[in-house]
Amino acid sequence: MRINRVEIVTVSASQATVFWRATAPADIAASCSAASGGNPVSVSVSSVNGRHFRAVFSGLESDTAYKFQLSLNGRILHSGEFKTLRPAPGDFVFRFATVNDIHIGEKIYGLIFLPGLNLFPVTPGLKLDIDGEPFWKYTNETAIKELNKLDLDFIIVKGDVVTDHTEENIRTAKEMLGSLKHPYRVLRGNHDRAASPKNDFFLNAFPAATELQSFEHKGRGFILLDDIHPATGNTRFSTRTIELFKKEMERMRDIPVFVFAHNPPLRAFERAPDNRISEFLEIIDSHPSVAGVFCGHTHGNKVAIRKRDGKQTLFVETAAPMDYPGGFNIYDVHTGGYVQTCVRPFCAKSSRWYEKCEKAYYGLAASGLFGDISDRNFVRSVPR
C-alpha cells in the first residue's frame, strides 16, 4: 500500500491542513512536531471513500518550522515539512471570505476552445456525476456548508456563477448562493455575460452587480469591478467603470482598499488601448494603500507583484471549489494588514472528483493550478 498526492493546502499562524490519497483503504496516522524539537502537536485525521485523507494540525506556534509524518502501523509512508505564517500585524478586526467560478450548470469540465473555433475543443472534457448529482452541485454545496460554519462578516463571489447564461442556470445559482448564512456580493464573470441587455438574467438576479460596487467596512474600502468585455469575455474596463473607479479610489484615499475583479488584469495580450487596462493600473499605482487586487477566472492559485514607484501591489488569483485543486479563501483583517488562507472543501464526492479532474488539460492541471504554499497562504502588511 502506498500514498500519493500529499498536498499541504492550508498553512496559517496556528494551523496547517494536509491532504493525501492512499492506493487502498488503510488506517493511516499523522504526527507533527516543531523541527527544532518538542512535544507532538494536536492532530485530527479524517478520511472519506477509504482512500482520501485530511490531517489538521492545530495549536501551532507562529513563524515556526514543523515536520510531519504519515505512517501505517509504525511504518513511515511520507515525511514533509512546512513553516507557519508569522502573526498578522496589529489587532484582529474582522474576517471575510471569497469564492469564485462556481460554474452552475456546467456539463463537461476541462474544455478549451481556440478563439473563433468554438465547435472544436483542443482538450478532452471530463464528467463525474455521482448519484445523479453533477459535479458543480456537490462541490459547491460542500464549500457553502463549510463557509456557513465560519464566523464571517461577508462573502464576495468573484464571478462565473454560471457556465451558460440561461435563466434556469442563474435561478439555480441564486438559490444556491441564497443558502449562504452570511451577507454576500456578486460580480460578473466572463461566463455570466448576457447575449443582449434585454435578456440579462444575471443582472436581473443580482441587480447590484453593475460596473462598480463600492462599500466600506470597519475602516477598509472594498471595490468590485466588472472587467468583462461583453462581446468576447476578455478583460476590458468601460469608460464609465474607469471614471467610477477613479472617483471611488480618490474618495477612499485615506484607507486601505481591497479591489476585486473576475479577470486578472495583468495579461499582456489583453493590453489594447480600448480595454483601458493601463488606465486601471495607473489608478491602482496612485493609491497609497491598496491591499491587493483579487481575481478568479483561471481556477488556479497565483500571486503576482506589480512594482511601481517604490510600492508593491499584490495581484492574487484563487482556485475554484468546483474543480481541482478546489478551494475558497479566508481573509483575517488586522489593523496593520491581513492574512489569506486557502481552504479545500472535503467530502467523499468532491474528493473523487478532484482526483479525476487533476488530470485535465492533458495532465497539466495538477502542476499548473495548485500553486506554491505562498500563493495560497500569506501575510500582507498594509499601510494606513
CA gap 212, 237 in Å, rounded: 10
Tell me which residue of 146, 132, 194 sits closest to 167, measured CA to CA: 194
Q: Which amino acid is at 5?
A: R
C-alpha cell at 132: 445523479
Tell me which residue of 335, 384, 371, 315 sits closest to 87, measured CA to CA: 335
Contacts of 316 (CB under 8 A, 6+ apart): 292, 293, 294, 295, 302, 303, 340
Q: Which pLDDT value is given to residue 110?
A: 86
Predicted model pTM:
0.96
Q: Which residues pair with 8 in a beta bridge?
A: 18
Specify the higher pLDDT residue, 112 or 137.
Answer: 137
pLDDT, average across residues 41-67: 96
Distance of CA 112 to the CA centre of its chain: 21
Q: Which pLDDT value is given to residue 124?
A: 85
Say yes or no to pLDDT of 269 above 80.
no
CA gap 10, 263 in Å, rounded: 24
Strands (E), the chain: 3-11, 16-22, 29-34, 42-48, 52-58, 65-72, 75-83, 92-99, 155-157, 184-186, 212-217, 220-225, 257-260, 290-295, 302-308, 311-317, 328-334, 337-343, 378-381
Say yes or no to pLDDT of 113 above 80.
no
Q: Which pLDDT value is given to residue 117?
A: 58
Q: Which residues pair with 35 in a beta bridge?
A: none
> Is the CB of residue 325 less than 8 Å from the CB of residue 363?
no
Domains of the chain: 3-83 (2.60.40.10), 92-381 (3.60.21.10)
Contacts of 224 (CB under 8 A, 6+ apart): 156, 185, 187, 209, 212, 213, 214, 260, 261
Range 74-79, long-range pairs (CB < 8 A, 24+ positions): 77/2, 77/3, 77/28, 78/3, 78/6, 78/20
pLDDT, average across residues 52-61: 97
Q: Which pLDDT value is given to residue 213?
A: 98
Tell me which residue of 204, 208, 192 sits closest to 156, measured CA to CA: 208
Range 198-203, long-range pairs (CB < 8 A, 24+ positions): 201/165, 201/166, 201/167, 201/170, 201/171, 202/161, 202/162, 202/165, 202/170
Q: Which pLDDT value is given to residue 115?
A: 62
Cis ω on the peptide bond leading into residue 87 (within 30° of 0)? Answer: no
The least confident of 111-125, 222-236, 243-257 is 111-125
CA gap 101, 159 in Å, rounded: 6
pLDDT in tens, 366-382: 889 999 999 999 999 99
Q: CA torsion, points 264, 265, 269, 270, in degrees to nearest 10? A: 110
pLDDT in tens, 303-360: 999 999 888 999 999 999 999 999 999 999 999 999 999 999 999 999 999 999 999 9
